[in-house]
Amino acid sequence: MRICFVLPHYYPYVGGAEKIFYDLTCGLVRRGHEVRVITSATGTGHTGVCRIDAEGSILEAESGFSNDAAGELQVMYCAWREFFGHPLPSASDMEECIRWADVVHTSTFTPAPPVSRLARKYRKPSVLTVHEVHGLKWYWVDNFIRSTAFLVYEWYVCTRPFDLYHAVSEATRRDYFSFCGKRDVRRVYNADEMDPDMELDPEFDIHRFFHVEPEKRIFLYYGRPGKTKGVNVYEKALLMLGETGEDLKDVRFCFALGAEPAGPRAEFLKSIEKNGLGDIVRIRGSLSRAALGSCILQADYVVVPSVTEGFGLSALEACQMGKKLVVSDAGALPEVVYGDILQFRNRDAKDLAEKLLRVIHEGDRAFRKIPPKQFTYEQMIGGIEQLYFELTKGKV
């Protein structure tokens, strides 16, 4: 089967959705399908058509897509313009590949409208992956004008005509129905399997990295500092902890924050300083993959305070590493997390503060055991492949 993906970003761009689509496309190639990806060149260091071999090495191609690329991915990295950080795909870049394909697959947000239009023009079966639906939740995290604009655009994108809509969790599927109405939405979970040979940084020491004394317990947050990730709720909870008069000398709350989004990150740093939380909070930048793995493993607890979550890849990774999680009940997180879990009510800083205090006093006894869950590549790739077979009705 010939499959064309049109994606906002793709490997080697770093992000959860990019990792998922890289794993998916690699898996489809291993199953014998021909796969072409059209994506933005932003943050990749590549332009033009490249091949990606089985080891993930990117091989520059001399010209265009090749019809002789068995066992390899072909990716066209395009110098698209951007709007508020989102690439604006050009129809001329994707038209030839869509005409070539048996199935066209894209994702939210900006590629969806032009891909829908071209797929219908050339009568190609099409799939839209919906990572998350905010709907009225936009008003939880931004001002009225911006939230209204985001809501209208999200509705426009998510209701473009596609043959099938793919939701990455049951929570996202429910949110889609609530916001966009009944359509043919299939749930196929994202996948992540912990590599037993995962590369770690043997030199990394979490206490040294965050300038914390070795005997203190560490609550770790890692990832983007965006408002949907709940860092503002977490900060309010820490303020409440300080107001209780409780002795917090034996714990520290550590943040490994990504550089983007830059605005919310700067606001968060300024607020931490303004509110005098520097005694119990430590903030550093993002880490290499190997160092981050070591950081997570060495933390005593991981905190996931997300306000919205379409799947929860970082939470799943922490569970796979056997970490104890203090986690909100937002979106798909209750579907995904397992192991030693302590949940708090979404956006409820007071409840989070109470749960943190409980962990400080009770330690491991504060957590509830949830049976293991599996989100395998075999399930994800097979589930998506089945959608393609349904759309083509076995004709290819």
User: What does the pLDDT read at residue 2?
Assistant: 96
Residue 227 has pLDDT above 80, yes or no: yes
Is residue 178 helix, strand or coil? helix
Q: Is residue 197 part of a domain?
A: no
pLDDT-derived band of residue 63, with 50, 70 and 90 as boundaries? Answer: confident
Same domain, 172 and 220: no
Within a domain: 199: no
If asked whether residues 387 and 313 sit together in one domain, one would say no
Q: Can you tell me the mean pLDDT for 87-104?
A: 96
For the chain, the average pLDDT equals 94
Whole-number pLDDT of residue 396: 63
* % of residues, the chain, pLDDT over 70: 99
pLDDT interval class at 64 (50, 70, 90): confident
Q: Which residues contact 229 (CB under 8 A, 6 or more apart)?
A: 223, 305, 306, 307
Beta bridge partners of 103: 3
Residue 44 in this model has a pLDDT that exceeds 80: yes
Is 31 inside a domain boundary? yes
Asked if 302 and 178 sit in the same domain, the reply is: no
Residue scoring higher pLDDT (30 or 62): 30
Say if CB 301 and CB 359 are below 8 A apart. yes
Please check whether residues 48 and 168 belong to one and the same domain.
yes
Q: Do 102 and 128 belong together in one domain?
A: yes
Q: Are residues 18 and 137 in the same domain?
A: yes
Task: Taking residues 178-199, report their average pLDDT.
Answer: 92
Cα 221 from chain centroid (whole Å):
15
Domain co-membership, 117 together with 247: no
Instruction: Give mean pLDDT, residues 71-88.
Output: 90
Bridge partners of 341?
A: 325, 368
Say how many domains are in the chain: 2
**Residues with Cβ < 8 Å from 40, sequence gap 6 or more?**
8, 9, 10, 13, 77, 78, 80, 82, 87, 89
Which tokens is 46 given? 């590549």
Structure tokens of 16?
């959860």
Q: Based on the domain organization, do 121 and 246 belong to the same domain?
A: no
Give the model confidence (pLDDT) of 268-314 as tens digits.
Answer: 999 999 988 999 999 999 899 999 999 999 999 999 999 999 999 99
Average pLDDT over residues 347-375: 97
Q: Smallest Cα–Cα separation from 344: which of 301, 393, 284?
A: 301
Structural domain of residue 151, as residue ranges? 2-191+376-392
Query: Do 180 and 234 belong together in one domain?
Result: no
Q: Is the pTM of this model over 0.75?
A: yes
User: Is residue 224 included in any domain, yes or no?
Assistant: yes
Do both 228 and 139 map to the same domain? Answer: no
Same domain as 348, residue 246: yes
pLDDT in tens, 12-29: 998 889 999 999 999 999
Q: What is the largest CA-CA distance in the chain?
A: 69
Q: CA-to-CA distance for 67 and 276, rounded, in angstroms?
A: 61
Q: Worst-scoring range by mean pLDDT, 159-168, 172-181, 227-236, 262-271?
A: 262-271
CATH code, 289: 3.40.50.2000
Quote the pLDDT of residue 62: 67
| Residue 171 confidence (pLDDT) above 90 | yes
Residue 358 phi/psi, 5° resolution?
-65, -40
